[in-house]
Amino acid sequence: MLEEVKKLWDKYKLSEDVRKHCMKVAEVALKIANSIESDVGIDKNAVLIGALLHDIGRAVTNDPFLHFIKSAEILRKEGFDDKIVKIAERHFSAGLSKEDAKKLGLPIKNYMPKSLEEKIVSFADNLVFGDKEGKFEDFMKRLDEIDKRNGKFKWLTEKTRKRALKIKEELEKLSGLKF
Ligand SMILES: [Fe+2]
């Protein structure tokens, strides 16, 4: 299965930095998944593959608002399970609603993480800065920095704070971990 990941990384010439980032996200995501009671029924393989491939779209664009759509496009084209495709498609920050997508000029669609696998990978991604694991408050600080740099995304960062906090609370409750 991991060979499949490596093959795709190579095929799309994904940069070393992004590969390292994805490996760290996979490590954090699996730590969360492994801390959740098995009767919850998390598909750990989907978490692993989804985390390793969530940023494959970065091979073709570095645009933060487009790369997750590209990731999903590539994975769909390559015949990946819809479960994996959606992990990539819904990993941006703490998600984007249909309305947000419209406002951003993106294909109008719901990009909110819904399944636990989707939430775990998107949340783990928010905790990883480059290839280092940080704390939840570091993610919140980054949102503040975005607002300081440019006030035009305030409408979105405000929603993101609430959405991220909700996912954090849900995953802390399920896993017993503290982020
Ligand atoms: Fe990403």
pTM (whole model) above 0.95: yes
Reported as type and span, the H/E element at residue 172 is helix 154-175
Q: Where are the domains of the chain?
A: 2-175
Report the mean per-residue pLDDT for the chain: 97
| Ligand 1 center from residue 146 Cα (angstroms) | 16
Per-residue pLDDT at 150 exceeds 90? no
The listed CATH number (1.25.40, 1.20.140, 3.30.70, 1.10.3210) that belongs to domain 2-175:
1.10.3210
Per-residue pLDDT at 171 exceeds 70? yes
| Ligand 1 center from residue 137 Cα (angstroms) | 19
- Percent of residues, the chain, with pLDDT higher than 90: 98
| Ligand 1 center from residue 166 Cα (angstroms) | 20
Residue 123: Cβ within 10 Å count: 24
Contact 32, 1 (CB under 8 A): no
| Ligand 1 center from residue 176 Cα (angstroms) | 26
Token pair for residue 174?
Answer: 């399920």
- How far from 95 is each of 86, 113, 149, CA to CA, in Å? 12, 6, 21
Per-residue pLDDT at 1 exceeds 70? no
Per-residue pLDDT at 4 exceeds 80? yes
pLDDT tens-digit series, residues 73-100: 999 999 999 999 999 999 999 999 999 9
| Ligand 1 center from residue 75 Cα (angstroms) | 14
